[in-house]
Chains A and B, each alone.
Chain A
Amino acid sequence: MNLERGVAPVQIRAQRDGQFLFLIDSSMPFQMILRYLEKKHKSSKGFFVSAKIILDLGNRPFRFEEVKALRDMLRHNWGASVVELRLGQHLDSFFDWASKQIDIPIRQIPVGENLMEPVVVRQTCRSGVRVEAPMDCIILGDVNPGAEVIAGRDIIVFGVLRGIAHAGAMGNRDAKIWALSIEPNQIRIADLVAVPPQEDRHKPKKYEVAQIKEGRIQVLTF
């Protein structure tokens, strides 16, 4: 995650609508984040006065004190307003806090299965096509060079995979790529990238699976 987002504890991105997205690093101690923002505030020379800011905690656990401190700091020191708080996938801490507030235990019901449904593409993905799936992605056809398939979890290609496939795009290292034949110029799982060896891969086979083993992407042929 760190590599993907760079080293800054808070990444600031300008949004199309003029708002600013503050992406808070998930692993950095909170004091470091505060210190970084103070430094940023001094160097920005009032750039953020009356700015609208979206706080994105990413995978950082929700802690009421932290959010409150950030809100007060941005409001009073920077003169900016926090218009939105975005929570990542780890909502347990948020529910803990909420249940303490109302003094009733909260049980989180798992997200409905329909949100987990795979995206099914019933044709060949040609060059220039980009398929994005929140969870699994199933392609009934080939993935040609120049096409991109990105999935939160597994990618299953019922054909030849020749384009770019990125499984576990949100960082899930257990994701796998299945295809009748894996012949891409590049393959990605989570944060790892692999380039297949330059050899003749037109051997008869049933199917192939790409997965991470011992920190490297491996392609197994069956």
Chain B
Amino acid sequence: MPGTTIVVTSGKGGVGKTTTVANLGTALAMRGRSVVMVDADIGLRNLDVVMGLENRIVYNLVDIIEGRCRTEQAMIRDRKLNSLFLIPAAQTREKDAVHPDQMKELCEKLQQDFDYVLVDCPAGIERGFRNAVAGAQKAIVVTTPEVSAIRDADRVIGLLEAELMKDIQLIINRLNHKMVKRGDMMSTEDICSLLAIPLVGVIPESEEVVVSTNRGIPLVHEKRSSVAGAFRRIAARLEGEQVPIPADNAEEGGILSRFKRLIWSS
């Protein structure tokens, strides 16, 4: 059975598309699935940096499409997981180097050999976006609880719906539970009521993300991190498991709940 191509997109830049792709890809591979991550951000590649694979790049996405190498030659195996691969973007080219039809063809080919093809979409709604979306059957829209990010996410959902994408799911990234409780940040409920697409997970705000990005090791490898837990739960939900999404006020409730969590995780 062929796999699924999932595009991770957001419209606005800097909301965590690349981090999401890196962690989701790793989490799915840890569950034993074969995963290939495609960096579609040609000219501004950074998925390879987040995965810590920058020094292994020989060929890239544009090389595959222009026929300078075989698909397998451009695929880089992850340092820890045998079933996780990355196809990096070209850094010295521009988005026009790839046509949506070519991208669709590539995704269809990759689907034959892998359970999941994760496409990291560039910011914006121009050519790069259309390239990334072309071959996907499923879309994950990442947003942060900021008005500007939500506005762009809304626009992107509209564009995806216009492309007749049926399966669109939402990830809310960088939610600060304390700020939501104080009423200084939009809550999950507010965002979901506005965007009106199914929620697949909420990722809490954390400094660990920056550290792991700089080290080039996806945070999912860190067993105790709350962010890692959130990504693992999203991976489980993508595989069809029924894992409840904790409500905004459920986590970090009081001293007691924090104490309880310490016991559980040890």
Q: Which residues of A contact B (CB under 8 A)?
A: 123-124, 126-129, 142, 144-146, 162
- Give chain A nearest CB distance to B44 CB in angstroms: 23
- Give chain B nearest CB distance to A131 CB in angstroms: 12
- How many pairs of A and B residues are in contact by the CB < 8 Å rule? 29
**Interface digits, B118-158 against A, CB 8 Å rule (1 contact, 0 not)?**
00000000000000000000000000000100011011011
A128:B158 contact, CB within 8 angstroms: yes
Q: Which residue of B lies closest to A162 (CB)?
A: B194
Interface size class, chain B: 10 to 19
Please report which residues of chain B, range 193-220, place their CB below 8 angstroms from some CB of chain A when the two chains form the complex. 194, 196
Residues from chain B with a CB closer than 8 A to the CB of A129 are 158
Query: Would you call the interface of chain B mostly helix, strand, loop, or mixed?
Result: helix
- A128 CA to B161 CA, complexed, in Å: 13
- A126 CA to B158 CA, complexed, in Å: 6
A127:B196 contact, CB within 8 angstroms: no
Could you show 5 A-B contacts with beta carbons less than 8 Å apart? A126-B161, A144-B194, A145-B151, A145-B194, A146-B155
- Give chain B nearest CB distance to A177 CB in angstroms: 19
Q: Which residue of B lies closest to A202 (CB)?
A: B190
- A162 CA to B193 CA, complexed, in Å: 12
Q: Which of A123, A126, A144, A162 has the largest number of chain B CB atoms within 10 A?
A: A126
- A142 CA to B194 CA, complexed, in Å: 8
Q: A126-B158, A162-B194 are in contact. List 13 more A-B contacts (CB 8 A).
A: A126-B155, A126-B157, A127-B151, A127-B154, A128-B155, A128-B158, A128-B159, A142-B196, A144-B194, A145-B151, A145-B154, A146-B151, A146-B155
- A122 CA to B67 CA, complexed, in Å: 45
- A128 CA to B158 CA, complexed, in Å: 8
- A97 CA to B258 CA, complexed, in Å: 86
Residues from chain A with a CB closer than 8 A to the CB of B194 are 142, 144-145, 162
- A124 CA to B194 CA, complexed, in Å: 10
- A126 CA to B150 CA, complexed, in Å: 11
Residues from chain B with a CB closer than 8 A to the CB of A142 are 194, 196
